[in-house]
Structure 1
Amino acid sequence: MTNATPGRGGRQLPTAEQLRIWRDFIETTQTLGSRLTSRLQTECALSPGDYAVLLALSEAEDRQLRSSELATRIGWERSRLSHHLGRMERRGLIRRQESAADPRGAEVLLTEAGAEAFQRSTYPHLRAIRELFVDALTPEQLVAAGEIAAALRDRLDRQQDG
Structure 2
Amino acid sequence: MDEPRWLSEDEQTSWRQLAMLMTLLPPALDAQLQRDSDLTHFGYWVMAMLSERPERSLRMSDLAARASASPSRVSHVVARLEKNGWVRRARSDRDGRSNLAELTDAGYRKVVEAAPGHVERVRDLVLDALTSTQVQQMGEICGALLRRIDPDGRMGTRPLTD
Which of 92, 97, 112 is matched with 1:99 structurally?
92
Aligned to 1:5: none
Alignment partner of 1:143 is 2:117: no
Larger displacement relative to structure 2 (82-91 or 143-152): 143-152
Instruction: Say what the alpha-carbon RMSD is for the aligned residues.
Output: 2.0
SS class of match (2:21): helix
Higher relative contact order (CA 8 A, sep 6+): 2
> Residues 145, 115 of structure 1: CA spacing in aligned structure 2 closer, same or farther, 3 A cutoff?
same
Aligned to 2:80: 87
Q: How many angstroms does 1:159 deviate by?
A: 8.5
Aligned to 2:34: 41
What CA distance in whole angstroms lies between the structure 1 residues aligned with 2:42 and 2:87?
13
Aligned to 2:117: 124
Alignment partner of 1:26 is 2:16: no
> Residues 107, 160 of structure 1: CA spacing in aligned structure 2 closer, same or farther, 3 A cutoff?
closer
Structure 2: any 5+ residue segments left out of the alignment?
155-162
The AA in structure 1 aligned to 2:96 is P
Larger displacement relative to structure 2 (133-142 or 84-93): 133-142
TM-score by length of 1: 0.85
Structure 1: any 5+ residue segments left out of the alignment?
1-7
Deviation string 1:115-162 (CA, Å, 9 cap, x unpaired) is 11101011111111111111111222222222221221121123988x
> Residues 160, 15 of structure 1: CA spacing in aligned structure 2 closer, same or farther, 3 A cutoff?
farther
Q: How high is the sequence identity, in percent, across the aligned residues?
A: 32
> Residues 90, 71 of structure 1: CA spacing in aligned structure 2 closer, same or farther, 3 A cutoff?
same
What CA distance in whole angstroms lies between the structure 2 residues aligned with 1:82 and 1:19?
37
Which of 54, 58, 63 is matched with 2:56 structurally?
63
Q: How many angstroms does 1:10 deviate by?
A: 4.7
What CA distance in whole angstroms lies between the structure 1 residues aligned with 2:50 and 2:60?
10
Q: How many angstroms does 1:11 deviate by?
A: 5.1
The AA in structure 2 aligned to 1:116 is R
Task: Report which of the two structures shows the higher radius of gyration computed on alpha carbons.
Answer: 1
The AA in structure 2 aligned to 1:88 is L
